[in-house]
Structure 1
Amino acid sequence: MGLEETKQLLRTFRIVPNRILGQNFMVESSIYPKLCEYACLGNDDAVLDAGAGFGFLTRFLADRCKAVVAVEKDPRLLTVLRKQVQAFANVTPIQGDVLTAELPTFNKVVAIPPYYLSSRMVPWLLQRQIESAVLILQKEFAKKLLAPVGTKKYGWLAVVAFHDAKVELLDEVPKALFYPPPQVDSVIVRLEPRKPVPYKVNNRNFFDSLIRWMFTQRNKKVNNALVPFLRIKFKVGKEEAKKLAFEAPFGERRSRDLSSSEFGELANALAK
């Protein structure tokens, strides 16, 4: 499960890691027990391993839980993955994008997803009915999940994360533990869906599109930032959009300074 085995598989199957697909392989097997411990895995758990690669983590999970869904996008790696897990009846290898593939039921996630996938995968996970997710994520990305209001890193991810989940940064993962090493360090993150959520959102699709837009206008006053968004969203003219925007709460504040719950209040007021 280490560096030499990874290099040997790459040579044997004539695979050159694709940096665009974020193919940096974990080569330190001592990480796997940590991930399982943080996930509190049990014999009844069905686990998703997204970005399964050569299946080293997949095999480790398969020895400790009821079922593993191992998803890998690259068909070259899937060929190796299938060989690596063929002795495990409780592993289901799947080729495709984890966000769009048809997946068996799972209640937990333990994965080292490629970095390019993180910003789409985390919100996707938070809205699924899971107990927890333990992931290795790019350190700078993980910090965005917990960024305080008004800081440079504060954005739509922090707003969504606060509403949807309890987020914990558990351990640092140096880039030297991957092959080839990425340019950045990583961290182990645990996500646990909030039950109940801290505030109610009446229209989730509207809320999501609103906060994404508002952080493209993060330094503008809320009422000014809202006008073009409302024109498109409600298909109204400029004057009608202005009226709606200037009647909305928090109009004189900057987008970057609204808390997650205030964004919820704003969305609910606009999407009546």
Structure 2
Amino acid sequence: MRQKTARGKYHPAAGSLLNQSQGLLRRFNLQPRKRLGQHFLIDEAVLKTIIEAAELTPTDVIIEIGPGLGILTRQLSQQAGQVIAIELDSQLAAILKRTLAPFSNVVIVNKDVLKTEPATLLKEQAAANSGYKVVANLPYYITSPVLRHFLEAQVKPQIMVVMVQEEVAETIVAAPGQMRLLSVSVQFYGKPRIISQVPAGCFYPMPEVDSALLRIDLYPQPALAVADRDGFFNLVRAGFSASRKQIANSLAQGLGLEKADVLSLLEQADIAQQRRAQTLTLDEWGRLWQVFSRGRDG
């Protein structure tokens, strides 16, 4: 079977892994579950790119989210010290425990990642202390919640190498002028960069949109020294609540403040009232929060 790269066609490099994936599904009488966003990676070149981007070492502990048919899991296990693969689908988890049984450094966990603290997955205290890496082909529908779950975790990863929708990746790495709430939320905790674009034809079944491989290098401490992070992000969320409006109007509406009070806050933070939320830098959000929190607490 020879695949093509055009929209609606599988990638040329997908042949072997496509056949392997379809064979596994037939063998266990399974169908990909659309509700769980199951799109299995079938391109060997992309697999190689993921492994290279993760910069694996024999001592690395990897948390893989949504291992699916275990194709990426196998590759990870060959270069990392331990792979903890967390799979929500009970059927797939049971199959993975069988098919990956020969890989002694792989642990399959049948849980909802969003309801599981990373620290509970890292059973060895040494692993939690030395850090871990997240590597995943993420279901699109849980991308933002998963990123938030790990970025805000008490025990954070060193890096995250994740496959996400291309449009989402572009939002995450956006510069001032194109920033959104998700951009600020990720860049607060680490430095994101797009490793490569990944066409829809590299997955089975084929999604409707293209993807991108994203790497986030987490900072030892967040980019801004903010004691009340919930309060800070409430402010940012209010700023983006009506992103087409000027920041003064968005904040007044989102925070329930008088326009005159907001104008005073912006002046103290040296931010022009005509600006829009998407143009603010992370440092400017930090200045605005300092002024706002002083007024709130005073």
TM-score, shorter chain, exceeding 0.5: yes
| 2:45 corresponds to | 30
Give, in angstroms, the shift of residue 242 of structure 1. 4.9
Within 2, Cα distance between the matches of 1:5 and 1:256?
Answer: 44
Match of 2:126 in 1: none
Q: Which amino acid aligns with 2:162?
A: L
Q: What is the distance in 1 between the residues matched to 2:30 and 2:152?
A: 35
Q: Aligned residues: percent identity?
A: 30
5+ unaligned residues in a row in structure 1: which ranges? 232-237
Q: Does 1:208 align with 2:233?
A: yes
Distance apart, 1:88 and its partner CA: 2.1
Aligned to 1:235: none
> Aligned pair 1:245/2:269, yes or no?
no
Kindly provide the CA deviation profile for residues 208-256 of structure 1, in whole angstroms up to 9, marking residues without a partner as x: 222223212112233322234334xxxxxx6xx5564343123613223
Return the offset for 1:5.
Answer: 1.7
1:130 is aligned to: 157
Distance of 2:237 and 2:205 partners within structure 1 = 33
Task: Say which SS state the counterpart of residue 121 (structure 2) adopts.
Answer: coil
Q: How does 1:86-165 map to 2 (within 5 A)?
A: 86-102=101-117, 103-105=120-122, 107-128=132-153, 129-151=156-178, 154-165=179-190
Matches within 5 A, 1:251-270: 252=273, 253-270=275-292
Pick which of 217-226 and 43-52 moved more. Answer: 217-226
Tell me if structure 2 keeps the 8 A contact 1:163–1:199.
yes
Gaps of 5+ in 2: 1-15, 123-130
- Report the residue type matching 1:22 in the other structure: G
State the TM-score, normalized to the length of structure 1: 0.87
Point out the more displaced range, 194-203 or 32-41: 194-203
RMSD over equivalenced CA pairs, Å: 2.1
Looking at structure 1, the residues matched to 233 and 99 of structure 2 have their Cα atoms a distance apart, in angstroms, of: 39
For 1:146, the aligned partner's letter is: V
Alpha-carbon separation, structure 2, partners of 1:246 and 1:202 = 24
1:19-52 per-position Cα deviation (integer Å, ceiling 9, x unaligned): 2321111112333232222111111110011111
Deviations 1:132-181 (A, max 9, x none): 11111111110001222223xx2011112332211121122121111111
Superposed CA offset, 1:167-200 (max 9, x none) = 1211221211111111111121111012454432
Say whether the 8 Å CA contact 1:203–1:271 is kept in structure 2: no
Aligned partners of 1:32 and 1:57 also within 8 Å: yes
One-letter code of the match for 1:269?
A: V
Aligned to 2:128: none
